[in-house]
Amino acid sequence: MHSPREVSTPMATAPWQRAALGANLLAPDGGLGVTIFEEMTTLAVQTGAINLGQGFPDEDGPLEIREAARAAIAAGANQYAPGKGVPELREAVAAHQRRFYGLSPDPATEVIITTGATEAIAASLLAFAGPGDEVLTLEPFYDSYGALIGLCGATHVTAPLLVPDFMPDMTALEAAFSEHTKVVLLNNPHNPTGAVFPREVLQKIVELAIRHNSIIVSDEVYEHLTFGARHIPVASLPAAAERTITISSAGKTFSLTGWKIGWLTGPEKLVSAARTVKQFLTYSSGTPFQQAIAAGLAFPDSFFEGIAASLKAKRDILSEGLRAAGFNVFSPQGTYFVNVDTEPLGITDAVDLARRLPELVGVAAIPVPVFCHPEGAERTRSLLRFAFCKRTEVLEEAAGRLARLSGRL
């Protein structure tokens, strides 16, 4: 049974290490050990396994965007961009928010371009949370959240997402808030579970944030990668905009994760505070890439609909192989990831199975417990996460390999 408010466990290490209880595994001497991502990648290389652990595509993004970057380089866009980002991209982000969600951020004062979404999250947390404050996330949580909260010196509090649909336990969510809840760090669509939160869940989070005077930082990088479910930005809900920073990036939408172009939008007061921190992180980055992404955000609706449809087909290919393997498959509503329960195979330790899977069938995955604090890890101990953002032929091969698993256990 979970406690109402799960918090990170203090340890005799640096604050960011204390918070990195999931993917950043601690070595016996108290220092950082090898992350589970590095461990699984090493095993995949050693065994020749298909790596469905880390969530990055194995295909390049649209040629038009890549050509736009080449043209920008040739035209001399190779020096520092303005700290806020190049005007063309700030205007494109503002236009994107109007076009898809009816939001109207001012590109001059309410949009910042960042080095990926991770920097946007870091700048926001460092601007608003510190020692004595609490940052609330849902659990499982994206692995960098714990470390970034630790960098602030804040306390990481979690509220559980429950199988089979990975919706919040609403009683536990309400109990997780306190007078110390400075920031609610939300990820929607949600990594690692693939959940897309409906309006009633988001509105409840907004109501609780208002009650406790909390800021909402909403990581929406998978906003265009949903399968039937509608993505609703928190900032579009009543009374939410004034306390919400919305974050997204080009990496997931355009399959250009290596470019590290992200952005945040919100009311000027919040954006200005995040910008003050951001200028001492990277200051600026990726000038020609920023110009190219501005062109991509103007693509027609058919492009955004097409990438979601293509990814849904890939989800279904991998899910079929996982079901054939005997797993209980939780079909995601969005993101790059599908989660499974190993218990139907008589296996209750997903970490152990993840370490054996590359040798057993030649496929690598990530155990969900590494995205949790200890109590959450126990609750999710039999869950595995697979990434399906790969070429169709790779997923078909992986599905075939996985279908042979039950005969090799």
| Tens of pLDDT, residues 46-87 | 999 999 998 889 999 999 999 999 999 999 999 999 999 999
pTM to 2 decimal places:
0.92
**Per-residue confidence (pLDDT) for residue 60, from 0 to 100:** 94
Rounded to a whole number of angstroms, the CA Rg of the chain reads: 21
Domain ranges of the chain: 11-60+303-408, 64-300
Instruction: With cut-offs at 50, 70 and 90, classify the pLDDT of residue 8.
Output: low
Please count the other Cβ atoms lying within 10 Å of the Cβ belonging to residue 225. 25
**Per-residue confidence (pLDDT) for residue 56, from 0 to 100:** 86
**Per-residue confidence (pLDDT) for residue 36, from 0 to 100:** 82
Secondary structure of residue 157 in the 3-state scheme? strand
**Per-residue confidence (pLDDT) for residue 271, from 0 to 100:** 98
What DSSP element (H or E) covers 167?
A: strand 167-168
Q: How do residues 301-336 score in pLDDT, each as one tens digit?
A: 999 999 999 999 999 999 999 999 999 999 999 999
Asked if the model's pLDDT at residue 369 lies above 90, the reply is yes
Asked if the model's pLDDT at residue 6 lies above 80, the reply is no
The runs of H, that is alpha helices, within 7-108 are 15-19, 36-47, 63-74, 87-101
Instruction: With cut-offs at 50, 70 and 90, classify the pLDDT of residue 214.
Output: very high
**Per-residue confidence (pLDDT) for residue 31, from 0 to 100:** 39
State how far the Cα of 2 lies from the Cα of 8, in Å rounded to an integer: 14
Length of the chain: 409
Fold of 64-300: Aspartate Aminotransferase; domain 2 (3.40.640)
Q: How do residues 104-129 score in pLDDT, each as one tens digit?
A: 999 999 999 999 999 999 999 999 99
Asked if the model's pLDDT at residue 136 lies above 60, the reply is yes
Task: Retrieve residue 270's tokens.
Answer: 């919040």
**Cβ(214)–Cβ(181) below 8 Å:** yes
* Arithmetic mean of pLDDT over the chain: 92
**Per-residue confidence (pLDDT) for residue 7, from 0 to 100:** 64
**Cβ(150)–Cβ(20) below 8 Å:** yes
State how far the Cα of 359 lies from the Cα of 312, in Å rounded to an integer: 28
Give percent of the chain with pLDDT exceeding 70.
92
Q: Is the C-alpha dihedral spanning 8, 12, 17, 22 positive or negative?
A: negative
**Poorest-pLDDT segment among 14-28, 32-46, 331-345:** 14-28
Secondary structure of residue 123 in the 3-state scheme? helix
Asked if the model's pLDDT at residue 28 lies above 70, the reply is no
State how far the Cα of 15 lies from the Cα of 31, in Å rounded to an integer: 12
Taking CA atoms, 175 is separated from 85, 125, 178, 244, 398, in Å, by 39, 22, 8, 21, 42
Asked if the model's pLDDT at residue 103 lies above 60, the reply is yes
- CATH superfamily for 11-60+303-408 is Aspartate Aminotransferase, domain 1 (3.90.1150.10)
Q: Is the C-alpha dihedral spanning 14, 15, 18, 19 positive or negative?
A: negative
Our CA angle for 352, 353, 358, nearest 5°, is 115
State how far the Cα of 188 lies from the Cα of 218, in Å rounded to an integer: 7
State how far the Cα of 285 lies from the Cα of 308, in Å rounded to an integer: 28
